[in-house]
A = this chain, B = another copy of it.
Amino acid sequence: MKQKPTLKVIAKELDVSVSTVSKALRDSKEIGEETKNKVKAFAKLYNYRPNNIALSLKNKKTKTLGVIIPEIVHHFFTTVISGIEHYANDKGYNVIVGLSNESFKKEVINLEMLANGSIDGFIISVAKETLSVKDYHHLSETIDQGIPIVMFDRVIDEIDCDKVIVDDVKTSEKAVRKLISSGCKQIGIISTKDYVSVGRLRTEGYKNALESKGIEVDTNLILKIDDKFNSDDNLEFLEQQIHDYFEKNTVDGLFAVNELYAITAMKVARQKGLSIPNDLQIIGFTDGVLSKHAYPPLTTISQHGFEMGEEAAKLLIERLENTNDDEEPFKTTIVKTDIIDRETTKL
């Protein structure tokens, strides 16, 4: 186990000064050709690489991005991370991930752990609990300390920062319109509680679509799932709620704000003997593995997570590398969506 060589050991070994070694390796014209070659050869031989930590300390930048997401076991978030990684690596940045597990406290801890010099900026999708308790002090304090934040997907209007979102209202409107034009007469929606911005906005789009076609909105047809900040374990609870919904309502079209809700609705519908898409047409939101491999394959809205990730990383890195004194105004970029036609809708 040979130790990593430092400038100092190279200097001692070659009997020159540390500065000379540093300059030689950076090809400074201050150093003579001969010395340069000698140093470079030695450095290559011993596989010298500058110590990142020392560089970070000196340059006051770490070339590392902090990504905080509610859950990693979730296809949408992982595609976003892929996008972030892709863009960031390309620009020489690393990515640290923190998981909030939808918990406010863990979000705060993660932010604090990383905000002490470990990273140059954050990309975050806020936890449901944070949205629900409406306590954003950790975010505003971080921004106050000069650490930029980019929010994506779940976004907080009150916080001024760069944002990457999807036009939830318009997109949902489009999806529900599609259901209408495919012949659905009774269209329901399975959404989240209102404090989750995306749920609220997608419900809004749902209403807009109906109203624009002169259809009255029946609030009984709007199911707002109570998922206790944790969508993974309480699958039965989710099924139960959807089951009850089907007991009380008869629908021939359904719009679900994520793919899990859509898939689960399909399952419950199948148990009730409904045929998809003949008796019931369904559109989901987010194009994940579930949608693609479901039976029948689910017609869904693609959020283009990869592009969202790339865009978020781009916004963040641009802000980090912007050396102008005049602060750039905050941008919120809207990533386009597409409806991917599969087999849970007609036509």
A residues at B contact (CB < 8 Å): 1-4, 47, 49-54, 56-57, 62, 64, 72-75, 78-79, 81-82, 85, 89, 94-99, 110, 112-118, 141, 144-146, 235, 260, 263-264, 267, 270, 289-290, 292-295
Complex CA distance for A56 and B62, rounded to whole angstroms? 12
Indicate if the CB atoms of A2 and B53 lie closer than 8 Å: no
Given A4-B145, A118-B53, A118-B94, do A81 and B72 touch, yes or no (CB 8 Å)? Answer: yes
Given A81-B97, A295-B294, do A1 and B54 touch, yes or no (CB 8 Å)? Answer: no
Minimum-distance CB pairs A-B, first 3: A295-B295, A51-B117, A53-B117
Q: How far, in Å, is A77 (CB) from chain B's closest CB?
A: 9
In the complex, chain B residues whose CB is within 8 Å of the CB of A47: 141
Complex CA distance for A97 and B97, rounded to whole angstroms? 7
Q: In the complex, which residue of chain B has the Cβ closest to the Cβ of A81?
A: B72
Complex CA distance for A310 and B113, rounded to whole angstroms? 20
Q: In the complex, which residue of chain B has the Cβ closest to the Cβ of A61?
A: B53
Complex CA distance for A292 and B145, rounded to whole angstroms? 44
Copies of the protein in its oligomer: 2
Complex CA distance for A85 and B98, rounded to whole angstroms? 8
Give 13 A-B contacts (CB < 8 Å), ordered by A residue.
A52-B116, A53-B56, A53-B117, A53-B118, A64-B96, A73-B82, A74-B78, A95-B98, A96-B97, A267-B295, A290-B290, A294-B295, A295-B295
Contact of A293 among B74, B146, B263 (CB under 8 A): B263
In the complex, chain B residues whose CB is within 8 Å of the CB of A64: 96, 118
In the complex, chain B residues whose CB is within 8 Å of the CB of A1: 144-146
Indicate if the CB atoms of A54 and B57 lie closer than 8 Å: yes
Complex CA distance for A112 and B92, rounded to whole angstroms? 12
Q: How far, in Å, is A275 (CB) from chain B's closest CB?
A: 13
Indicate if the CB atoms of A96 and B99 lie closer than 8 Å: no
Contact of A75 among B2, B73, B114, B295 (CB under 8 A): B73
Complex CA distance for A11 and B314, rounded to whole angstroms? 38
